[in-house]
Structure 1
Amino acid sequence: MANDAGNYSDVYKSWKHHLFNFKLADRGTATPGLRKPQLAALYAALGHLVMSPTTTGTVVMPTGTGKTDTMLGLLIAGRLSRTLFLVPSDALRTQLVEKCRGLKKLREIGAVSDIALNPIVNALSSKMSVEDVAQLAEANVIVATPQTLQRFEEDALQALSSLCSHLIIDEAHHVAAKTWWRVKNAFKAKPCLQFTATPFREDSQPIEGKIIYNYPLKDAQNDGYFKPIEFHPVREYNLDLADQVISEKAVELLRSDLALGLNHLLMVRAKSQKRAEELFLIYKRHEDLSPVLIHSKVKNRLNILDEIVQKKHKIIVCVDMLGEGFDLPELKIAAIHDQHKSPAVTLQFIGRLTRVDDKLGDAKFVSNIANQKIDHQMAALYKESADWSSVIRDVSHEKINREIEKEAFTEQFSDNTNAENIFGLNPNPKVSAVAFHVARDHWRPEQAKRFSRRKEMLQFFSINDEADTIIMVTRRESPVGWAQTSEIVDTNWILYLAYYHAADSTLFIHTSGDESQATYFLNLIAKKSRRINGEPTFRTLHNIKLMRLQNVGLSRARKDLRFTMHVGRDINTVISEIENGTAKKSNIFATGFELGERTTVGCSHKGKIWEMNSSSIMYWIEWCRRVSRKINDATIHPSDILKDVMRAEKITDSWPRGLFYADWPETIAIENEQRISLYFNGKIFNLLDIQLGKIQRVDDLTLSIPVLGMAEDGTEHQLPVISIRLYEDSYKFSCPEVKIIFSEESPLELYLDANPLVLLGVDGAIIEGNYRFFTPNGLGIKLPIALIEAWEWGATKIHKESMRAERDLDTVQGFTFSRIESDYAFIFNDDGSGEIADLVAIRESKDVIYVDLYHCKFCPMKEGVVRPGARVDDVYEVCGQASRSVKWLHTQEKFFDRLMDRYQKSLPKGFIRILKGDPKQLELLRNKCHDHEMVFRFVIVQPAISAEKISAEQLAVLGTSYSYIKNVSGSDIKVVTSP
């Protein structure tokens, strides 16, 4: 039997003389040996160390398939002289050291014989000096966490790197963190292997390195390395009852397994210490199962962990304390009160409970499947009859394949090691380019490697397999501006990109350098190129709705004034000068909506095109393709593009009349509203639950806007009104004692001074601050008569608007529901503060989800009589509600999350918001929305309007909403009236 006798040299010499046994285990004959993924991973790793020792290799092995023993087997099979193991936690460090010192499992299966001595292992737990590091020379294996090595001075870390021959990183999905990267960088000249079950990071940062072996989770299941997974769902939409229902089901499963003689334990998963303490109060009544609470602040935590390992507690309430580095096979039941939202963490978590042990049963998971707010890739886990064994396999496959696709894109640039160096820098270029027409025969990408300029040297260069993309990095030295000497210089690293879009014979050039550098690069890689500039460049502005020119540069034909730059509010004269020919466009930067989404576009007469964004090279290439389609479309006439540009007009003497709609600033997108709150009088109001009322004109210089909010406890409150005072050259908001909680807490009125509310006028103009924005073609648009539909209301009490919890059908909303009920599969009553619409009606057809938003308003009763007519006041509020709801476009699952939240919060009050259908349909729609098109339609229901008597003023207000919704979303509206 091998022992621990000997020094470093003795151990290493025994490994060099040892013949590692690569025998595969045979379950049929009970012959011990390596598992299939272990054997394959060892072969892949050893081959990689021979063929590409300077390239980081990544081995993907699901939790429970023998990853740790594979790493240890590599020490002897590869005869690694001195290895640093980097692990993410103290628990994993302790676990690895214990396994490494005995090689117990490898010896039991016959992979390592008595000839090989156990390694001398040193675990690092504190800062070391260079002298201390030198003492580590007696170790064959050194184990450390990045947190420990972070305390090393740079010279000590370099000494450790020099001492070690190899670096092996466990749980490599942590590797992009700053502390890990410092170690990785110090070892960049040493062979490095990374092991992980999930080769992707939830912060979207890449894991550097090539995936040299991937053992799919499907194979692990088929090969019997994972026990089957049972999912036991509960469905409880009342949040006050959900935890109790989950606990009852989980304890029932535990007692059933114990009765069968299975020594199983139940883990209760909470997202925070506070939640864990709340849940422990629910579970502690099961005294015979000895529940225990454990988290980082619990006293005697180490003693409790020991008791857990000794199985003294059958129920363990924790906050991710039993994840990476904690191996307890008896943990077979999990009560998931707070789901992980990350596929990576979920897969790790599940893997801990699915290890194979003949003495134990199958893993069981319990969770509430009502209203799950999770990544759509994980949504399939929480369906009624979900097969978790299948789902986690598919999710793992999808996520890992995505990383492999990224790697495949990178590997298109595989002509040499330069590509790896470039992508290792994680390039995130500004999205910009200059385009050229280049014949296919004149595109010469291979010439880029001849790049050579004085004081600028080529460092990295690569062309992809398709020969349509070049990535290049150079190093340039230039004199410093403040000294007349060549002793010191500035060093700049320049990125060059070229993409050739063969379909349009168009070449796109990007460089982080200057014009001369771009020209030199172009002349290297293309012959007889023709720059696309002038008017075709401005075709990129095509199809931008509600376009605002943020800055405009003009070329002028005057001797005393050749160029002028216009920013912000002085756009009106600029547009007219362009249109009448007294000035020529030099450059334009604009914002607006394209296909219902916010976008930015920049273009110049010289040919530069850009977007206010930085992104990956893959995105830059896709952007080039989109731009190519526009600039090569001769049917787009740039002279027509500016006709719909928003003009800006300063408001001076008085506020415009006819302002009917107020909404939060453009800086607050709908996805941010749920993260923003208002604070008033000791209560917190989520911005989504705030309703801004109809704008009131106090006097010529003062506007006021009522504010109604629903607090977290479900009670409605009237907040102080928001008032806006107009001054000669400015404006001032007032909303005393109300604070906004965003990235920080500040007075709401100060926030609105810098980010003014958006106000909409009946003429179609948009007011922000003391400026009025409009397009000449968009003013005074009236609703097309064809969009009006008259209903016979019969004896319906149209002076009553809402059906409320009682489902009163003798109301405008109730009659509307009765009228449309048969047309939809799902109808939701969203009436109340913070509503999306009074009725949300949904139907499906093939791959499309149709969502119709019904905005209902009552007809006022005067002197006991209700008379539909032509009163313009009857359309202001409902048009504002319809205009406000357009921002829910493109929010996908957030839209359905909002409905589900409101459904759940209303349940304790006895208000059942789902009028047709059930919550399961809502969940299914939320899951489908990622791969189904969502088509919105907006319906205004106002019986106070008489179709026969409708006035021009009413049509103007309705036309404003129609125009606004059409421009932002591309959707039509319908207006329902009385005859």
Structure 2
Amino acid sequence: MADATGKYLDVYQSWQQHLFNFNLAVRETNTPGLRKPQLAALYASLGHLVMSPATTATIVMPTGTGKTDTMLGLLIAGRLARTLVLVPSDALRSQLVEKCLGLKKLREIGAVSATALNPVVRAIGSGMSAEDVQQLAEANVIVATPQALQRFDTESLQALAELCSHLIIDETHHVAAMTWGRVKTAFKEKPCLQFTATPFREDNQPLEGKIIYNYPLKDAQIDGYFKAIEFHPVREYNLELADQVVADKAVELLRGDREQGFDHLLMVRARSQKRAESLFELYKKHEDLSPILIHSKVPNRVKLLGEIVEKKYKIIVCVDMLGEGFDLPELKIAAIHDQHRSPAVTLQFIGRLTRVDDTLGDAKFVSNIANQKVDYQMSVLYKESADWSAVIRDVSHDKIAREVEKETFTEQFPDDADSEDIFGLNPNPKISAIAYHVERDQWRPEKANHFSQKKEPLQFLSINDDSDTIIMVTRRESPVGWAQTSAIVDTNWILYLAYYHAPDKTLFIHSSGDESQATRFLNLIAKDARRINGEPTFRTLHDIKLMKLQNVGLSRTRKDLRFTMHVGRDINTVISEIENGTAKKSNIFATGYEDGQRTTVGCSHKGKIWEMNSSSIIYWIEWCKRASQKLNDATINPSEVLKDVIRSEKIEGAWPTGLFYADWPEPIAIENEQKISLALNGEIFNLLDVELGKPQRTDDLTLEVPVIAIAADGTECQLPDITIRLLNDSYKVSCPGVKIIFAEESSFEQYLDANPLVLLAVDGSMVEGNYRFYTPNSLDLKLPIALIEAWDWGTTQIHSESMRATRNMDTVQGFTYSQIEDDYAFIFNDDGAGEIADLVAIKESKDAIFVDLYHCKYCPQKDRPGARVNDVYEVCGQASRSVKWLHTEEKFFNRLMGRYQQSLPKGFDRILKGDPIDLELLRNKCHDHEMIFRFVIVQPAISAAKISADQLAVLGTSYSYIKNVSGSDVRVVTSA
């Protein structure tokens, strides 16, 4: 051990005596030296270690620009005593150890001379005890993976941190939050540098550390560190043909390159082992190109990898096997059958194939550009004439710019240890606050520096003067409630937030502690603050549609009863008391819709406002801004905010009549439907392909709801009806044999017992379980006559509804299409089970996408247009159901594209006007364009001249429901 440690000291001493050569390579004169990004990154890193060693730093260098040798150069140029290098994979660990042992490239370019000895390197492959860690003292460089450090106990990890002088993290975007958390804590006092090509993490969490150097990909291309990238797109929407088209094009390019004398290889990228095995069947027929399949479960994988490096195989079908740690310059053609959705992975992947080598040609990528479901910024890669060199450069710049923007808010706070510690905690406060009116000159954020409490010392404090924001963390110790001793205490960490909204002169205070703590904080930072409480607080309930009160606290004037709390069904009994003034609102928590989206709102007479949510500090500030608008709007009358609140009443003795529409339980929002399935006798149906029919009242106590599903072959099949039995004080659901699959499989009956279907009645009320919900102002609401539009149907066969694949224009749907064709740029035939609407018609303006959903219904055979209420039940149910697609953005377009592709093999082209690429462009635009939905019911069985009160009531119920949720009117097209 003494000899080994002596070798470590010899190496370290040689680095102390060594003069690192910072010469820059000159390509024109073949002068060896460091690459431009290497030199700049070294200067930035060395300067950071001198000026701000306590701050975690990030160095961004695109793949292929010499990132690894920059890290190795830093060891010697910075004379780092003992460094732990964290890498994401075993392959990279082995590669880095090998490069450390020789410093080959650095010596070849003259950056490191013979004076500097090669480091003693040790690799960590498994957990170690604290005693074992001491054996690593013989090493100048220790290389480990996060997985290996996960096997260290706390004592061993701390011993490792104490042993090392510096921490370097390679490929930082791979390091997940939990894995990195323990290491960061252990190495908190040690300088940390992070090297990455893509400073955005794969787990969607913010990448910690200040970006001290960023070498743009654009500069890397200009400086010649990447070969040009050729993109060879194919466009095939038929999913049964797409893989073969990609394979044919990729093999054609490979043969062409090899005929030109390039020793190129083709990599075929698949997302899973099953997909790789399927794709291999397409390529194995090219026997002269020696195809090989390799993934983690292939036998003799290590041997095969060695043979791949020896270029024994010309076509390599793999599942992310040849990424970081695998350097094979001859890999120049990629067949991308399954696109990466992560920009980080895409940029890494492309970088592996674009290394400069004078003996090789340009990198070539082949992909099917039909229906790309990648990140919307990355989708520009898959356009017909995409310049991948330019696009990758721009997307990389934009993505890195996003990370820099995230830092902008952080950097507005002081550049000190407290700010770093606070944001290192990644605060995610509950969304709540108390608001105060404070004059601008009475807002004194700097006073927070003087926070002083004997039992609650200040731990971290950061003030953002530009955004008028304070973030503070304190530590409070208090005796435990179950012991009369000071020997043990409870420790609580308290988060304080303050945001001053200058336009309204309104200060918002949040504290995770109690009200007295929040008050002390307020008094410190603001003078003459006037709390916004009482009735104005309830203005936050304004404009909440379909509002349901979840709990209500009331203040009463009786001496024997000062306060009552009401939850659930009990709330219905006290709404009238609030309205007639016999009780005062103390606190209210409600759910509902605002701007077409589900929301929660809480408010109390004492002034507290909240949302049932936890989120980032940036979100909390934006929430405060929205709340400020309502709190300061004197035109909102707090006594009227509950006028449209939903009442409830228990259903007893018999189910109500007039139920015409059934929908899934409230917890199943549209974003969840695609993740949920129903199973029956081994067959599985995605919930988006399952439709509920009109509820049938078989007797006073029994409801039956038909369930229609689309099988894998596209045919409709009937699942067991959902039977709902009314009990004395409850209800019971029956749906024999059906299971629901959401995370895990469970009984569908039991799920519906706990989460009842939503049933809509003709009178405008809703039924959930054994309770009826309604608002007085929406009961028996009739459709406004002005929304009815009568068409002359001529000789159209109004008894036939669907155009079907033959595009039969002599139908209700066909005639509707002929009437609207000139009004839209894109029209889609979505008719069939699981439809959004029969016709989806879309047009654009400069900054909005207008989506009109046409729901068509036929006139029953032999009947003439008239006043039959049965003619409106089903079509109104369909229109009401489609409102759930609001605010789904790309999911909406993905649904249309999926149905289009699934129908093509059956000879059914659903696009009536426009092209499939229009759907892709709309999907990309929906992120920065407002989507405005409108709803149209088309039913020629209704006679505008004879329309009945019953028909108007059903139409009015659907109109009211859609209007409340979406804010949109509903047009109704009838016969004359």
Is the TM value for this pair above 0.5?
A: yes
Instruction: Output aligned runs, 1:674-753, within 5 Å.
Output: 674-753=674-753
1:809 corresponds in structure 2 to 809
Q: 1: distance between equivalents of 2:961 and 2:31?
A: 74
2:163 corresponds in structure 1 to 163
Deviation at 1:556, TM superposition (A): 0.3
1:109 corresponds in structure 2 to 109
CA deviations 1:764-815 (Å, max 9, x no partner) are 1111111111110111111111111111111111111111111111111111
Q: 2: distance between equivalents of 1:924 and 1:295?
A: 35
Q: Which runs of 5+ in 2 are unaligned?
A: none
CA deviations 1:722-745 (Å, max 9, x no partner) are 111111111111111111111211
- Residue 870 of structure 1 contacts residue 946 of structure 1 at CA under 8 Å; is this kept in 2? yes
Instruction: Output aligned runs, 1:350-429, within 5 Å.
Output: 350-429=350-429
Deviation at 1:682, TM superposition (A): 2.5
1:970 corresponds in structure 2 to 967
- Residue 651 of structure 2 contacts residue 770 of structure 2 at CA under 8 Å; is this kept in 1? yes
- Residue 20 of structure 2 contacts residue 77 of structure 2 at CA under 8 Å; is this kept in 1? yes
Q: 2: distance between equivalents of 1:767 and 1:860?
A: 29
Q: 2: distance between equivalents of 1:236 and 1:60?
A: 37
Pairing 1:180–2:177 present: no
What is the SS of the residue equivalent to 2:194? strand
1:571 corresponds in structure 2 to 571
Any runs of at least 4 consecutive aligned residues in structure 1 with deviations exceeding 4 A, and if so which?
A: none
Q: 2: distance between equivalents of 1:415 and 1:188?
A: 17
Q: 1: distance between equivalents of 2:841 and 2:487?
A: 73
- Residue 792 of structure 1 contacts residue 978 of structure 1 at CA under 8 Å; is this kept in 2? yes
1:581 corresponds in structure 2 to 581
CA deviations 1:92-114 (Å, max 9, x no partner) are 01100111111111111111112
What is the SS of the residue equivalent to 2:643? helix
Instruction: Output aligned runs, 1:4-403, within 5 Å.
Output: 7-403=7-403
Q: 1: distance between equivalents of 2:647 and 2:527?
A: 43
Counterpart of 2:894 (choices 891, 894, 897) is 897
Q: 2: distance between equivalents of 1:839 and 1:734?
A: 34
Deviation at 1:6, TM superposition (A): 8.2
1:615 corresponds in structure 2 to 615
Counterpart of 1:929 (choices 910, 917, 926) is 926
2:950 corresponds in structure 1 to 953
CA deviations 1:176-235 (Å, max 9, x no partner) are 342333223221111111111111113222222111111111221222212121111111
CA deviations 1:402-456 (Å, max 9, x no partner) are 1111111111111531111111111100000000001111111111111112311
Deviation at 1:507, TM superposition (A): 0.5
Distance 1:38 1:893, change over 3 A: same
- Residue 511 of structure 2 contacts residue 518 of structure 2 at CA under 8 Å; is this kept in 1? yes
Q: 1: distance between equivalents of 2:553 and 2:152?
A: 54
Q: 2: distance between equivalents of 1:200 and 1:279?
A: 31
Deviation at 1:571, TM superposition (A): 2.0
- Residue 661 of structure 1 contacts residue 695 of structure 1 at CA under 8 Å; is this kept in 2? yes
Instruction: Output aligned runs, 1:503-522, within 5 Å.
Output: 503-522=503-522
- Residue 896 of structure 1 contacts residue 922 of structure 1 at CA under 8 Å; is this kept in 2? yes
Structure 1 window deviating more from structure 2 (924-933 vs 606-615): it is 924-933
What is the SS of the residue equivalent to 1:880? helix
What is the SS of the residue equivalent to 1:866? coil
The one-letter code matched in structure 1 to 2:854 is Y
CA deviations 1:823-879 (Å, max 9, x no partner) are 111111111010000011111122211111110001012xxx331000000000000
Deviation at 1:126, TM superposition (A): 3.1
The one-letter code matched in structure 2 to 1:487 is A
- Residue 176 of structure 2 contacts residue 202 of structure 2 at CA under 8 Å; is this kept in 1? no
1:591 corresponds in structure 2 to 591
Q: 2: distance between equivalents of 1:806 and 1:467?
A: 61
Deviation at 1:153, TM superposition (A): 3.2
The one-letter code matched in structure 2 to 1:657 is T
CA deviations 1:704-751 (Å, max 9, x no partner) are 111111022322211111111111111111111111111211121111
Question: Between the two proteins, what is the percent identity of the paired residues?
Answer: 80
Q: 1: distance between equivalents of 2:94 and 2:769?
A: 62
CA deviations 1:261-302 (Å, max 9, x no partner) are 111111111111111111111111110110001111000000
Deviation at 1:510, TM superposition (A): 0.3
Q: 2: distance between equivalents of 1:157 and 1:934?
A: 52
The one-letter code matched in structure 2 to 1:644 is D
What is the SS of the residue equivalent to 1:448? helix
- Residue 175 of structure 1 contacts residue 181 of structure 1 at CA under 8 Å; is this kept in 2? no
Q: 1: distance between equivalents of 2:844 and 2:518?
A: 51
Deviation at 1:467, TM superposition (A): 6.1
1:452 corresponds in structure 2 to 452
2:435 corresponds in structure 1 to 435
Instruction: Output aligned runs, 1:820-835, within 5 Å.
Output: 820-835=820-835
Deviation at 1:371, TM superposition (A): 1.5
Structure 1 window deviating more from structure 2 (374-383 vs 935-944): it is 374-383
What is the SS of the residue equivalent to 2:641? helix
Q: 1: distance between equivalents of 2:581 and 2:885?
A: 41
- Residue 587 of structure 2 contacts residue 603 of structure 2 at CA under 8 Å; is this kept in 1? yes
Q: 2: distance between equivalents of 1:331 and 1:351?
A: 11
- Residue 686 of structure 1 contacts residue 711 of structure 1 at CA under 8 Å; is this kept in 2? no
- Residue 174 of structure 2 contacts residue 202 of structure 2 at CA under 8 Å; is this kept in 1? no
The one-letter code matched in structure 2 to 1:236 is E
CA deviations 1:302-327 (Å, max 9, x no partner) are 00000010111111111101111111
What is the SS of the residue equivalent to 1:643? coil
Q: 1: distance between equivalents of 2:12 and 2:248?
A: 56
- Residue 176 of structure 1 contacts residue 206 of structure 1 at CA under 8 Å; is this kept in 2? no
Deviation at 1:5, TM superposition (A): 14
Counterpart of 1:940 (choices 932, 937, 942) is 937
Q: 1: distance between equivalents of 2:869 and 2:150?
A: 69
Q: 1: distance between equivalents of 2:508 and 2:74?
A: 47
- Residue 290 of structure 1 contacts residue 315 of structure 1 at CA under 8 Å; is this kept in 2? yes
Q: Which runs of 5+ in 1 are unaligned?
A: none
Q: 2: distance between equivalents of 1:840 and 1:538?
A: 40
Pairing 1:906–2:903 present: yes
The one-letter code matched in structure 2 to 1:976 is V
2:854 corresponds in structure 1 to 854
Distance 1:555 1:125, change over 3 A: same
Deviation at 1:128, TM superposition (A): 2.7
TM-score (norm 2): 0.98
What is the SS of the residue equivalent to 1:570? helix
- Residue 198 of structure 1 contacts residue 344 of structure 1 at CA under 8 Å; is this kept in 2? yes
Q: 1: distance between equivalents of 2:127 and 2:911?
A: 61
- Residue 445 of structure 1 contacts residue 467 of structure 1 at CA under 8 Å; is this kept in 2? no
Structure 1 window deviating more from structure 2 (250-259 vs 391-400): it is 391-400
1:919 corresponds in structure 2 to 916
Q: 1: distance between equivalents of 2:560 and 2:255?
A: 91
Pairing 1:781–2:778 present: no
- Residue 177 of structure 2 contacts residue 205 of structure 2 at CA under 8 Å; is this kept in 1? no
Instruction: Output aligned runs, 1:655-674, within 5 Å.
Output: 655-674=655-674
- Residue 479 of structure 1 contacts residue 485 of structure 1 at CA under 8 Å; is this kept in 2? yes
Instruction: Output aligned runs, 1:452-471, within 5 Å.
Output: 452-466=452-466, 468-471=468-471
Pairing 1:887–2:862 present: no
Q: 1: distance between equivalents of 2:81 and 2:518?
A: 49
Deviation at 1:916, TM superposition (A): 1.1
What is the SS of the residue equivalent to 1:642? coil
